[in-house]
Structure 1
Amino acid sequence: MIGYALVTWLAARPAFQLREVTVLTPPAQVSAEQLQYAARSAVKGNFFTVDLVQVREAFEKLPWVRRAQVRRHWPDTLEVRLEEHQAVAYWTVNDSGDTRLVNRQGEVFVAASNAHMPAFLGPEGYAGYLLANYARFSELLAPMGRELVELGLSAREAWQLTLDDGLVIRLGRDREKAHVEERIARFVATYPKALAKLPEPMTVAVVDLRYPNGFALLPAGDKKAVESKK
């Protein structure tokens, strides 16, 4: 008991005060002001009594911070390592319309960004699923030389794709992965030929791939589709 009391007394001495919080990983998105705010609000006590969990949680609450590690460095310093989110897409929930961001791990987080990224729209909890399929659909559409800028998934799990030229592709439900990929491959291979066979040039707004042996073209400003057989 005497030894415990002595250690407690020593730990409370001014000689063990914390004098510095060092961030060892240079942040790309988190500002110096945000780091200072987290440190000032969470660092309480001295070198021995500071609550490292509380400090870690304060840094992880900052926008763009995915994970934080905090450790003591003798004699008067806390060292912090941050892992920041790497945003790859915007995410909008179908029901609420709330817009967030998706990181490389398929996790949704809240932060401000004006970066050029694709947009995902879908039910709550499907961000990772859309991220995986974005790579899949982008690869299938690559021969067209267009960029997939928006990927939507309805509540009934029907896909809709939008390319950088504004073309909307209605893909339908992905009941069988092979069938979806076959429909996209057929479209990529035959779309230029289908346009060339039209009696008059037209601007296509929507392509409907929900056909077993072909697809339909919907001109801009027209509600009637032009069907293209295989």
Structure 2
Amino acid sequence: MWNKPHLLTAIADLLILAASAALLAAGAVWLVRVPSLPVRQVVFADSLAHTRRIEIEQVLPAVMKGNFFSINLDQVRATLEKLPWVRRVEVRRIWPEKLEVKVEEHRPAARWGEARGELVNSYGEVFSAVLAESETTALPLLFGPQDTAPEVLKRYGEFVANFKVLGERPVQVTLSPRLAWQLKLENGMVVDIGREQPKSPVGVRLQRFIEIYPEAVAKRANRPAVVDLRYPNGFAMRMAGEVKGK
């Protein structure tokens, strides 16, 4: 072996590599266990509209264990994401003693169902949070079976665009368990659109109603309380005080 320089060089390189790896491992263990290098500051990259400072101060201490290198960023992220208004969190270390936190808060787009405090964000996700009364009443009210919030929110946006040309605005949209659509306008009128039908889609029936709305509805001295669009070639109107079915 001694007269094989290439083999000796390879063994030497391996020993040096092993020694370097051992030093790195020892250094990593020391950095994790050393009591110095504490995290002294947590900074938030953006201002928070709904999440209060006291809520953060109540949950962070439990997961701020370890030093700059050993603190578990996934635990910090998961803990903050449990707060009512927090949708998504990113956490990163900033040398030598700081954590930077980026928080994406829910942006409420509508109220959801009859449960108090349930809202729908701009992604169609349902979350529970408390909103000021003035802000709550300004949001539309959406109803639907479980897991249909994204679809109902999307339809709401389409209905808003449909009625904008008339100067009217939907304030409530309902998808029934039988998947029938109903909406309520700001003027109090209820519009029963019904289910999707291959030969008479929801969009077609609604557009037909919107086209004749100025003449057939808007000019009436007494506007209808309910408009029923569930007919393939027309619609029915019921005035306030009329008994359904007569």
1:120 maps to 2:138: no
Structure 1 SS opposite 2:130:
coil
Judge which range, 31-40 or 48-57, deviates more. Answer: 31-40
Measure the CA separation in 1 of the matches of 2:218 and 2:97: 74
CA 1:195 to 1:52, structure 2 compared with 1: closer, same or farther past 3 Å? closer
Which structure has the bigger radius of gyration?
2
Measure the CA separation in 2 of the matches of 1:109 and 1:13: 41
Tell me the TM-score normalised to structure 1 length. Answer: 0.86
C-alpha contact (below 8 Å) 1:170/1:209 kept by paired residues: yes
1:100 maps to 2:118: yes
CA 1:225 to 1:72, structure 2 compared with 1: closer, same or farther past 3 Å? same
Shift of 1:196: 7.8
Choose from 151, 161, 164 the match for 2:173: 151
Judge which range, 148-157 or 185-194, deviates more. Answer: 185-194
Shift of 1:18: 1.4
Measure the CA separation in 1 of the matches of 2:37 and 2:219: 82
C-alpha contact (below 8 Å) 1:17/1:46 kept by paired residues: yes
Aligned to 2:224: 204
Counterpart amino acid of residue 56 in structure 2: L
Aligned to 1:86: 107
Shift of 1:90: 0.9
Measure the CA separation in 1 of the matches of 2:216 and 2:163: 17
1:19 maps to 2:40: yes
Measure the CA separation in 2 of the matches of 1:154 and 1:88: 20
C-alpha contact (below 8 Å) 2:108/2:121 kept by paired residues: yes
C-alpha contact (below 8 Å) 2:117/2:129 kept by paired residues: no
Gaps of 5+ in 1: none
Choose from 44, 49, 54 the match for 1:33: 54
Deviations 1:78-128 (A, max 9, x none): 1111111111111117xxx56511111111111112321111100000010
Deviations 1:158-188 (A, max 9, x none): 0000000111000000124963222222222
Aligned to 1:111: 129
Shift of 1:193: 2.8
Judge which range, 79-88 or 178-187, deviates more. Answer: 178-187
Measure the CA separation in 2 of the matches of 1:176 and 1:117: 32
Structure 2 SS opposite 1:9:
helix
Tell me the TM-score normalised to structure 2 length. Answer: 0.81
Structure 1 SS opposite 2:165:
helix
**Count, aligned residues:** 221
Choose from 127, 133, 154 the match for 1:132: 154
1:162 maps to 2:184: yes
C-alpha contact (below 8 Å) 2:91/2:102 kept by paired residues: yes
1:218 maps to 2:212: no
Counterpart amino acid of residue 131 in structure 1: L
Measure the CA separation in 1 of the matches of 2:244 and 2:152: 30
Measure the CA separation in 2 of the matches of 1:157 and 1:72: 48
Measure the CA separation in 2 of the matches of 1:196 and 1:29: 41
Choose from 47, 51, 55 the match for 2:72: 51
Deviations 1:174-226 (A, max 9, x none): 1249632222222223234334887xx43421111111222111111221468
CA RMSD of aligned residues (A): 2.4
Deviations 1:13-33 (A, max 9, x none): 332111111111111111111
Gaps of 5+ in 2: 1-20
C-alpha contact (below 8 Å) 1:141/1:184 kept by paired residues: no
Measure the CA separation in 1 of the matches of 2:208 and 2:28: 76
1:182 maps to 2:235: no
Structure 1 SS opposite 2:60:
helix
